[in-house]
Structure 1
């Protein structure tokens, strides 16, 4: 009898659907960026970086960590090469897998092969009856960190080179070769090129390791990091021993200009020793060992370091400004001969100088 027809314009719906899909893609992109930034922040939470040198190292590590390229960390003893190696692992796609650290200088040469490559049951007198998995096998799917690789015996260098080339390993006394998938990070405080010329290090292994060399400077070459490192180890040690010690800004200034031949390791040990042996709640320069105070480089004007540290330690704006003002007044009092000269030096009026001198008289 009749026909009922129903129609609807789909143009608006299709446009809305297209806009919705575009928004979904944008949200997904933003989520990826946020996750990447969050991951970078979390991975670097234990690394102190204020100097340009350290920031450049962290940027390089962030760029190469997602790859499986071999990294060679270079630098003097105590600069934190193992910490940077850990950062490489934590930012890599292998971060959920094992991180195996091997100090090549601490394993006796006679035991090196069995420790690194492992052995089958009954391979030699005194061997474990069940055999033993080597350190390289333990790093399967993860990261193998060979610290002090310059101490690796020549015989082991040839075997390690073969493992790196073929990604296969055979235990002592074994007949079967097993495929091993690991990412290699090596470190040394020695000049490997010089060792190659002396015949102490294999040239082919050097080129195999020297894919991405990262030079870590000594601590005295990145002074901007020192106050933050001091604060970091101060908080860490206070928390460890349930102490509440503080370091006076003048002490920060002395420590910042010390040469630190032992680098970060020396700094960490010093902070722990001071916290445990000094009875006073605040550590002053006179509490420091003579070996440090006698070797401090005296800068022409290092007041800004004490001011900077005051800002790091204090979040009370009024108190911070007052302390900074006091330090500047005290510095000008020592440097200038008259209150008029102080006024010109500080950029304030002479009556203001007199008022400030009266205010801070006890500190001058």
Structure 2
């Protein structure tokens, strides 16, 4: 009880501290759902500081967000939690521009404020807008920073279908992809006789790879002599912790297995030869950023909008499965070890395809931060 009260008090303090900022200094706000989301804002922040010297107010729902203790230059940081204080924050927000990665504005308890706020949505995945998101996920934003042509095509098709107001759609790109590309680690890693490493990075939900198959997806890889890093989605830890605990307990003494629950997990990404996934957007980041292949396990599609076929556009994550790797049926999981070894050994052949798709699917590769920063600054009153 006292722990909960203390947490609520800290959230109340954060909200009050935000409200004490003079209105003329409340021009641009970043809202982060959790500590793992900064990677999507970072390139924009860097460009805002380097090219525009624009200060930001950073509001986070993660109590353990490192930016609370060590805010970056030009940033003031505030903690509001994810309960009643967050609801109150949104309901009373008075700023020029709010940039956020959380969809479903206005659909549930998070509403637009009565003040004249410009709500800009920042995509935190390359995947399409109309299958794995709820139908109205993006309807109530004023502008959307789009990863590629697919986001514009899908958004305009929905607006036309339902006679919705036209939003400002910015040809933005994808900051996390830019950061992966900056590593210069494209192509297969040098192994020098060490075993190949597989990054298991599925999505979450009742049809997710871990939730449905757990050990059956990991065991063939370990048995084939591969190193395995399991990077579960944070929602899997919340909704299906027993599945993760079962895998970890089974391999607690296996040196070739590692669980990585770091919210960023960039090191695991860069060091892996191949990814095993399902419908996760992480697969597109891995393939397009590192030009390495993906094994897609054919679990049922992740669908939060059952009417997604109505706009007549195939989601990009469906296209990607045919072009960035191979699809393995769930009744062939026992073959994953051999499949992974063969793909990793011949991974160079996937490089050119991934590079080509990146050029066609993503705007402003390497320059997304500058594009977004210039747009956001133009909105400040």
Superposition TM-score tier, normalisation by shorter sequence = under 0.3
Larger radius of gyration: 1
More strand by share: 2
Structure ranking higher on relative contact order (CA contacts 8 Å, 6+ apart): 2
TM (norm. structure 1) is: 0.27
TM (norm. structure 2) is: 0.26
